[in-house]
Amino acid sequence: MRRTLALASMSALALALAATTAACGGEEDGAGGADAVSVGVIPIVDVAPIYLGIEQGFFAARDIELELTAAQGGAAIVPGVAAGEFDFGFSNITSLLLAQSSGLPIEIVANGVASTGVAGEDFGAVMVPADSPIQTAADLADATVAVNTLNNIGDTTVRESVRIDGGDPTGIGFTEIAFPDMPAQLSAGNVDAAWVVEPFKSLIEAEGGRPVAWNYVDAAPDLTVAAYFATSQLVQEDPDLVQRFADAIAESLQYATDNPEAVRDILGTYTDISPEIRAALTLPAFPAAVNKDSVERLAELGEADGIFENPPDVDALLP
């Protein structure tokens, strides 16, 4: 199933939906009468449940045949969904708030991943080399910090960690680097610190690096970090498919919660992470429901940092 949407570009992050044509192949799209559905994902531990759902047959049982395509981050996946490149996408909440505030009609259809809420035991952190003079979040105030996407969930939550620790985040120099490239860039001294998620946090720790801030934990209790989404058009025109997809994701999230070793194993099928690193990494939480309070907090942080042209409508974004 593909949706082709004509877009008028207002700015790099302000996309307006101008016209829409739909072409639904229905049951003829996939093998055995299943709907062929494309999903944009990021090659990180966050999306392990959807890979497990394919492996366990949760999507096939609902007549869905998934095609997963990896992208650098949610900011790249959002326009892909809008343009019809993907039927569904996985993106962090700030990217979705940015798109919604820019007038792009998208909606969350299923939860994705959440912080564990425990400092020292979360799947995302700001890392520095072992010999770095940076010891605390406040020390990041004048540092060069790598994030996978600028003006997004990484830098807004890192700024909050610095503020909470008593520092002034206005002097941080953020630089955009893809997650897989961050360990090497940090080791080479090209950045002072790197905000990463698993498995790259464990990769850096294996090289002697250490965490100095737990930005997801600092941002909000039990932070909803990312979710699966679609265009409002798809939600309205094919609610049956959207519901089947959401149900399969919910079953996949529960399976991942109940089977943490399966999460570690499946990670080896879509990344090059070694078994040793997979065994050591910290897993995120995979709750079935989006934490609305935490989404509202991310909206507040984004507004405070000036990354939204207009205030986002959280209620319109949430399922």
Identify the pLDDT of residue 29. Answer: 54
Same domain, 128 and 7: no
Domain final residue pick, 219, 252, 287: 219
Same domain, 205 and 272: no
Same domain, 12 and 107: yes
Same domain, 86 and 235: yes
**Amino acid (1-letter code) at residue 264:** R
Same domain, 52 and 171: no
**pTM of the prediction?**
0.85
Identify the pLDDT of residue 27. Answer: 40
CA distances from 253 to 52, 58, 159, 263, 279 (A): 9, 11, 30, 10, 20
Identify the pLDDT of residue 32. Answer: 62
**DSSP-derived 3-state class of residue 84:** coil
Identify the pLDDT of residue 306. Answer: 92
Domain final residue pick, 219, 240, 269: 219
Contact 316, 100 (CB under 8 A): yes
Same domain, 132 and 146: yes
Same domain, 51 and 176: no
Same domain, 235 and 299: yes
* CATH code for the domain of 303: 3.40.190.10
CA distance 230 to 242: 8
21 DSSP β-pair partners: 4
Domain final residue pick, 171, 190, 219: 219
Contact 290, 145 (CB under 8 A): no
CA distance 217 to 205: 19
Residue reference for tokens 């990312």: 226
CA distance 260 to 80: 30
| H or E stretch at 93 | helix 93-101
**Which residues constitute the domain of residue 167?**
124-219
Contact 169, 157 (CB under 8 A): no
Same domain, 11 and 157: no
Identify the pLDDT of residue 44. Answer: 85
Q: How many CB atoms lie within 10 A of CB 188?
A: 9
**DSSP-derived 3-state class of residue 162:** helix
Same domain, 9 and 78: yes
Identify the pLDDT of residue 5. Answer: 33
Same domain, 229 and 92: yes
> Which stretches of the chain score pLDDT less than 50?
1-28
Identify the pLDDT of residue 30. Answer: 55
Identify the pLDDT of residue 155. Answer: 94
Identify the pLDDT of residue 52. Answer: 98
Identify the pLDDT of residue 6. Answer: 30
- How many folded domains does the chain comprise? 2
Same domain, 20 and 92: yes
